[in-house]
């Protein structure tokens, strides 16, 4: 995962929604994508596993604020393969707490599992933003803006991917949906859309950094384009000048300078003397001075004459 991704997630993990409706929405998204329901005998445990301490802390706090005690919430730090550590937030659910599953949108009124977003859970804009933030925290990533523009979120279920796509659309962010290795992927490639998505989620500092890099990149591209364009023009000018010099040399070999038509003579001599000058500059050197188009016309005559004679 890119460092920019981590930065963005750390910032989002620090945002704690004020409203209860948004707290439920964000915890629901986190649990749906990072959590699981463990069944051991009659015991039911909801747990969230993550390698990001900020996300674990947030889940812990959301749980506590929303449902309070006597829920047992334990935070564990374990080492997996001796390299990465991960955190688990566990909540043991007694009979009396099973309605939490309903509240968090895991099951419907008939105790059936819900695969998408529970209807009515994210009706308000504030909740939609919180839900999207939860999804990104759990399953999202974004490339360093210096490299390429890419933001994605991975879903195990198609229904949820489609629901989140619709939710984001209503906030003005249009995700593309695709399938990858039995997972479903929502992604953005357009830098404007990535900026909008980060703004909606509330990643304001990461957003500023993203914008700075984006502006720098676009300025650099613009300068490169301009330089390329100027180089191309210069090459064209030099190529034309080289051709004119060749033609005039050939004419003089055949006709001598005095043999050139009088109104073309001065220009022919000036061109040989100043092969790097533009037509406009040559015109200014003439007496009397001649406009660029006048110079171009006479130059064309010289070239035609040279072609006729060769
Ligand atoms: Zn809300």
Domain boundaries, the chain: 3-202, 233-309
Centroid of ligand 1 to alpha carbon of 128 (angstroms): 7
> Token pair for residue 61?
């706090």
Fold exhibited by the domain 3-202: Endonuclease I-creI (3.10.28)
pLDDT of residue 71: 58
pTM for the full predicted model: 0.70
Centroid of ligand 1 to alpha carbon of 66 (angstroms): 13
pLDDT of residue 72: 63
Centroid of ligand 1 to alpha carbon of 23 (angstroms): 7
pLDDT of residue 266: 92
Centroid of ligand 1 to alpha carbon of 141 (angstroms): 24
Please give the mean pLDDT across all residues of the chain: 87
For residues 79-92, b (16+ Cβ closer than 10 Å) or e, as one string? Answer: eeeeeeeebbbbbb
Which residue positions in the chain have pLDDT lower than 50?
Answer: none
Centroid of ligand 1 to alpha carbon of 121 (angstroms): 9
Centroid of ligand 1 to alpha carbon of 22 (angstroms): 4
Centroid of ligand 1 to alpha carbon of 127 (angstroms): 4
pLDDT of residue 175: 97
Centroid of ligand 1 to alpha carbon of 157 (angstroms): 24
Centroid of ligand 1 to alpha carbon of 58 (angstroms): 17
Centroid of ligand 1 to alpha carbon of 102 (angstroms): 17
Centroid of ligand 1 to alpha carbon of 21 (angstroms): 4
């Amino acid at each position: 995962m890119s460092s920019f991704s981590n930065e963005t997630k750390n910032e989002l993990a620090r945002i704690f929604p004020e409203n209860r409706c948004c707290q439920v929405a964000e915890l629901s998204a986190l649990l749906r994508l990072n959590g699981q329901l463990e069944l051991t005998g009659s015991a039911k445990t909801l747990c969230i596993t993550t390698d990001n301490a900020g996300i674990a802390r947030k889940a812990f706090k959301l749980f506590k604020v929303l449902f309070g005690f006597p829920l047992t919430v334990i935070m564990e730090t374990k080492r997996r393969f001796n390299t990465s550590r991960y955190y688990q937030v566990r909540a043991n659910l007694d009979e009396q707490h099973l309605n939490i599953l309903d509240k968090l949108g895991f099951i419907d009124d008939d105790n059936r599992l819900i695969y998408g977003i529970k209807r009515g859970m994210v009706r308000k804009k504030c909740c939609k933003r919180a839900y999207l933030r939860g999804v990104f925290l759990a399953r999202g990533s974004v490339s360093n803006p210096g490299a390429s523009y890419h933001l994605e979120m991975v879903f195990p279920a198609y229904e949820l991917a489609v629901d989140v796509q619709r939710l984001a659309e209503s906030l003005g962010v249009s995700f593309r949906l695709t399938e990858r290795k039995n997972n479903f992927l929502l992604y953005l490639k357009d830098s404007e859309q990535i900026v909008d998505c980060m703004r909606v989620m509330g990643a304001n500092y990461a957003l500023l950094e993203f914008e700075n890099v984006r502006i720098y990149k676009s300025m650099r591209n613009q300068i490169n384009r301009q330089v390329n364009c100027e180089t191309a023009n210069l090459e064209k000018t030099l190529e034309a000048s080289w051709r004119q010099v060749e033609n005039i040399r050939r004419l003089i070999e055949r006709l001598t300078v005095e043999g050139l038509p009088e109104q073309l003579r001065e220009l022919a001599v000036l061109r040989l003397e100043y092969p790097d000058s533009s037509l406009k500059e040559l015109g200014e050197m003439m007496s009397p001075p001649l406009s660029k188009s006048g110079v171009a016309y006479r130059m064309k005559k010289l070239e035609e004459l040279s072609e006729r004679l060769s």
